[in-house]
Amino acid sequence: MDVLYFAWVRERIGLPRERVETTAATVADLVEELRGREDRYAAAFADLSALRVALDQELSEFDSPLDGVREVAFFPPMTGG
C-alpha cells in the first residue's frame, strides 16, 4: 500500500510517501511496524494522540482495519481556514 506523510510527520520521516508491503491488520499494527524500522519513524510516531490517520483519503481511527485499503496517510491535526 502507499503510505503518505504530511506536515511535520513528513519532515521527521524525511519523505512524503512510500510504498509499504505489510500484513498489518490495523493502523495501529502498521504504526508498530514503522516504529521498529528506524529512529526517525519512532520519533514521528512517538505520540499517537498528536497524529491523525486517513484511509483511502477518509479520516479514520488507529484501530481501523487495513483490509482492502490502498492508501494510508499520517498527519498532525489539521489547521485549515
Partner 1 sequence: MRISVQEDPFELGAESDAFAAGIENAGAVVTFTGVVRDADAGGLQAMEIEHYPGMTETALTAIAEEAMSRWSLADALVIHRHGRLAPGERIMMVATAARHRKDAFEAAEYLMDYLKSRAPFWKKEILAGGSADWVAAKEADEDALKRW
Residues that bind partner 1 (CB under 8 A): 4, 6-8, 54, 57-59, 73, 75-81
Strand partners, 2: 19, 71
User: 36 or 81: whose CB is closer to partner 1?
Assistant: 81
User: 36 or 47: whose CB is closer to partner 1?
Assistant: 47
Query: Do the beta carbons of residue 74 and residue 53 sit within 8 Å?
Result: yes
Rg (C-alpha) for the chain, rounded Å, is: 12
Residue 55 C-beta: closest distance to partner 1, Å: 10
Query: Do the beta carbons of residue 51 and residue 76 sit within 8 Å?
Result: yes
User: 68 or 81: whose CB is closer to partner 1?
Assistant: 81
